[in-house]
């Protein structure tokens, strides 16, 4: 089915809008879609910006009950974009070797990087069905690509993003029947200059280290040009497909 996404989603949910990429996405969405209201979430960080069309919500995406309760407050949703993510923190950082694997760190990666998108898809399914052209997109990472894995390492993060990718692909197959006008997308942002990547930027050439403002502009353009025929793909910021 070839139906173009609407130029103007009106009800947007943006998870992780307090992060580097999320904040830039919020600005790009508000600027691009002048009729849209954005329900934006943050967790530990303060709201980076106030805007009359942005409603801020506090949400710990590791809490399935909180996601369910919050999602139930929405009647109709056009776009859900998840920019929340975890790579390192007090619980640890990416592993160089399997000998560094810690069960709790792997589970924390799954709790933040994998499960929330699946729970949002579950609990917002009915609200998305009311949209003329629903979209669910989640920021993944190229390191979650099995085919593209040349360097190894980063077990927990890779596993959580590969699982996220599988969830999105599987959802896209279900949506062909349940949400035939809809589109599901996994997104790779490139390396962006944010708190998440800061400890790992040393070997990134300056031309490959993006300002999230640039990435967000590219993502919004990409998402607004998707259609159901291209649902269930993994896209880099510039619109090129990433192998699963
Ligand atoms: N930066 C890169 O180079 C890069 C590369 C590939 C993929 N990515 C992916 O891009 C996405 C955004 O990353 P970023 O670079 O923008 O990172 P960031 O600046 O560290 O932002 C992370 C976001 O996730 C939110 N978050 C983390 N844990 C949460 C929790 N338990 N509950 C609710 N929100 C939570 C944070 O909220 P608070 O700050 O309010 O706690 C923040 O909004 C992530 O999925 C990441 O894996 C980034």
How remote is the CA of residue 22 from the centroid of ligand 1, in Å? 7
- The pTM assigned to this predicted structure is 0.97
Q: In what order do the strands lie in the sheet with 233-236?
A: 54-58, 37-42, 11-15, 79-82, 135-139, 183-188, 233-236
Owning domain of residue 150: 11-236
Separation of alpha carbons 231 and 105, rounded Å: 31
Within a domain: 99? yes
Within a domain: 5? no
Within a domain: 183? yes
Residues listed for the chain: 244
Separation of alpha carbons 242 and 89, rounded Å: 27
How many structural domains does the chain have?
A: 1
| Ordered per-residue pLDDT tens for the chain, 244 residues | 555 544 589 999 999 999 999 999 999 999 999 999 999 999 999 999 999 999 999 999 999 999 999 999 999 999 999 999 999 998 799 999 999 999 999 999 999 999 999 999 999 999 999 999 999 999 999 999 999 999 999 999 999 999 999 999 999 999 999 999 999 999 999 999 999 999 999 999 999 999 999 999 999 999 999 999 999 999 999 999 999 9
How remote is the CA of residue 2 from the centroid of ligand 1, in Å? 33
Buried b or exposed e, range 50-87, using 16+ CB within 10 angstroms: eeeebebeebebbeeeebeebbeebeebbbbbbbbbbb
CATH no. for residue 77?
3.40.50.720
User: Does any ligand 1 atom lie closer than 6 A to the CB of residue 23?
Assistant: no
For the CA atoms of 49, 54, 55, 56, what is the dihedral angle to 10 degrees? -30
The residue written with tokens 């990134």 in the block is: 204
Within a domain: 104? yes
User: Does any ligand 1 atom lie closer than 6 A to the CB of residue 189?
Assistant: yes
Within a domain: 20? yes
């Amino acid at each position: 089915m070839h139906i173009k996404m609407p130029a103007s989603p009106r009800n947007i949910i943006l998870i992780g809008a307090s992060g580097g990429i999320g904040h830039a996405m919020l600005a790009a969405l508000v600027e691009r879609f002048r009729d849209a209201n954005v329900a934006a979430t943050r967790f530990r960080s303060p709201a980076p910006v106030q805007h009359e069309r942005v409603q801020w919500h506090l949400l710990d995406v590791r809490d399935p009950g909180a996601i369910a309760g919050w999602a139930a407050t929405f009647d109709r949703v056009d776009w859900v974009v998840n920019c929340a993510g975890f790579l390192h923190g007090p619980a640890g950082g990416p592993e160089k070797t399997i000998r560094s694997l810690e069960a709790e760190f792997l589970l924390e990666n799954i709790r933040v990087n994998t499960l929330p998108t699946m729970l949002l898809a579950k609990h917002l399914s009915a609200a998305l069905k009311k949209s003329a052209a629903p979209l669910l997109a989640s920021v993944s990472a190229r390191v979650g690509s099995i085919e593209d894995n040349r360097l190894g390492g980063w077990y927990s993060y890779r596993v959580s993003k590969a699982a996220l990718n599988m969830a999105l692909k599987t959802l896209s197959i279900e949506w062909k029947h349940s949400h035939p006008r809809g589109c599901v997308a996994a997104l790779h942002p490139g390396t962006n200059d944010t708190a998440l990547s800061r400890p790992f930027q040393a070997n990134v050439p300056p031309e490959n280290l993006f300002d999230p403002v640039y990435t967000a502009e590219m993502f919004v353009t990409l998402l607004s040009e998707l259609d159901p025929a291209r649902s269930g793909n993994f896209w880099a910021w510039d619109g090129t497909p990433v192998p699963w």
